[in-house]
Amino acid sequence: MEKWGASGRCTVQEQRARWERKRACTARELLETERRYQEQLGLVATYFVGILKAKGTLRPAERQALFGPWELIYGASQELLPYLEGGHWGQGLESFCPHLELYTEFAANAERSRTTLQEQLKKNKRFRRFVRLQEGRPEFGSLHLQDLLPLPLQRLQQYENLVVALAENTGPNSPDQQQLTRAARLISETAQRVYSIGQKQKNDQHLRRVQALLSGRQAKGLTSGRWFLRQGWLLVVPPHGEPRPRMFFLFSDVLLMAKPRPPLHLLQSGTFACRALYPMAQCQLHRVFGHSGGPCGGLLSLSFPHEKLLLMCTDQEELLHWHHSLTLA
Please tell me the predicted confidence (pLDDT) of residue 25. 95
Tally Cβ neighbours within 10 Å of residue 328: 11
Cβ(79)–Cβ(102) under 8 Å?
no
For the domain made up of 12-212, give the CATH fold. Answer: Dbl Homology Domain; Chain A (1.20.900)
Closest by Cα among 78, 50, 58 to 123:
58
Among 251, 261, 246, CA closest to 309: 246
Domain boundaries, the chain: 12-212, 216-328
Q: Residue 155: its pLDDT value, please?
A: 98
pLDDT at 1: 41
Which residue ranges in the chain fall short of pLDDT 70?
A: 1-10, 216-223, 264-269, 290-296
pLDDT computed for residue 4 by the predictor: 47
Question: pLDDT at position 289, please?
Answer: 72
Q: Model pTM greater than 0.75?
A: yes
Same fold, 12-212 and 216-328: no
Contact indicator for 328, 229 with CB cutoff of 8 Å? yes
- For domain 216-328, which CATH number applies: 1.10.645.10, 3.40.50.720, 3.40.50.12500, 2.30.29.30? 2.30.29.30
Render 50-75 in DSSP notation, one character per residue: IHHHHHTSS-HHHHHHHHTTHHHHHH
Per-residue buried b or exposed e for 29-60, using 16+ beta carbons within 10 Å of the residue's own CB: ebbeebeebbebbebbbebbbeebeeeebbee
pLDDT the model gives residue 134: 96
pLDDT value at position 266?
55
Q: Helices in the chain by DSSP H: which ranges?
A: 12-44, 51-55, 60-67, 70-85, 89-96, 101-108, 110-123, 125-135, 145-148, 151-168, 177-213, 316-328
Q: Give the model confidence (pLDDT) of 17-52 as tens digits.
A: 887 899 999 999 999 999 999 999 999 999 999 999
Residues ≥6 apart with Cβ < 8 Å to 130:
51, 52, 55, 57
